[in-house]
Amino acid sequence: MRRSLLSYVVLIIPCFACVIIGCGGRPNSAETIPAPVALDPASVDGARAFERVRELLAIGPRSSGTAGAEKAANHIASALRSMKIETEIDEFEDGPGDRRGIYRNVVGIIKGKTAGLIVLGSHYDTKAGISESFNGANDSGSSTGLLLELARVLSVGPKPECSIMLAFFDGEECVREYSENDGLHGSRRLARRLKEDGRAAAVLGVIVVDMIGDKRLNVELPRNSTPSLCSIVFSAAREEGARSAFRLSNSAVLDDHVPFLAAGMPAVDIIDFQYGSTPGLNDYWHTEHDTLDKISGESMQLVGRIVVRMINSLMTGNATRHE
């Protein structure tokens, strides 16, 4: 799934100039602009997020190109539409030769008052070949359940200053080995679409969540995340009284944030890659031990509240955008 790829990152992250940006741009000095209405972090409910994971896991394995993956995509789309969120299932083919397959991204959009765009992302597919019953409670159930809970919070809250995209990626997991044609299919697809249709220029931040349900939450932001977004994560974690559970990794990671970085968009990956039987180990990852009893609604709730604080920060312009 994810490995240190510092040489790859050097190729895709150029030197950026840093400017201050918010959803509404820079107002005329003579104008009085009302402050954006902030979302309430406390509205994120970990029990609801956990129940969303339970519902997703009931579908069974969700490896790309299978009936389970298609059922999961329809399940996610139905949940978003029930919240009155404009939703698209983007079906596409990708991959080389005998590995070419069908993938389905599920994308919901909550339109804001201005042209700015914040992207929240999670993959929903599971790794193939683990076992017939493997359905990934933490990878990728926890992040998908959290994103659906964030969708609920956003759908009942005030109209946001910026538009918010909820992106559920298919094909994050590779079949053989990560390469330009294997793995990250859904995120590469969306990053390319945003760049081609011009929306990439309006993106204030891409926030990817992955493996965030571990009862012993220990988030290490990959070194190849946009520094300004990392700073916002740490500030939000401090406000939630959980700064000690969030650190900057010494390594780069290949995950769904990377295609957005390559396309010139600021992005951060909120991931806990110490998911195991004892602290520091990752021995539950991609095994039959990745089950519902290993994850926690409290961990998902904490990450969700941090993401809401990040959204508030980006909407009010208290962030730096790399151009």
Q: pLDDT tens-digit profile of 125-154?
A: 999 999 999 999 999 999 999 999 999 999
Is the predicted pLDDT of residue 322 greater than 70, yes or no? Answer: no
C-beta neighbour count of 320 within 10 angstroms = 18
Using CA atoms, how far apart are residues 146 and 122, in angstroms rounded to an integer?
9
Query: What does the pLDDT read at residue 24?
Result: 55
Using CA atoms, how far apart are residues 102 and 299, in angstroms rounded to an integer?
33
* Residue 318's pLDDT band (cuts 50, 70, 90): low
Is the predicted pLDDT of residue 5 greater than 60, yes or no? Answer: no
Is the predicted pLDDT of residue 235 greater than 80, yes or no? Answer: yes
Query: What does the pLDDT read at residue 1?
Result: 53
Q: Where do the domains of the chain lie?
A: 39-316
Overall average pLDDT of the 265-280 stretch: 97
Q: Considering the chain, what is the average pLDDT of its residues?
A: 90
Region of residue 274 (phi > 0: left; psi between -120 and 50: alpha; otherwise: beta): beta
Overall average pLDDT of the 180-204 stretch: 96
Is the predicted pLDDT of residue 165 greater than 50, yes or no? Answer: yes
The residue that leads in pLDDT, 30 or 231, is 231
Of the candidates 167, 169, 311, 185, the one whose C-alpha atom is nearest the C-alpha of residue 236 is 311
| pTM confidence score | 0.91
CATH number of 39-316: 3.40.630.10
Query: What does the pLDDT read at residue 178?
Result: 79
Query: What does the pLDDT read at residue 31?
Result: 53
Overall average pLDDT of the 86-108 stretch: 92
Is the predicted pLDDT of residue 158 greater than 70, yes or no? Answer: yes
Q: Residue 105: helix, strand or coil by DSSP?
A: strand
Query: What does the pLDDT read at residue 311?
Result: 98
Query: What does the pLDDT read at residue 134?
Result: 95
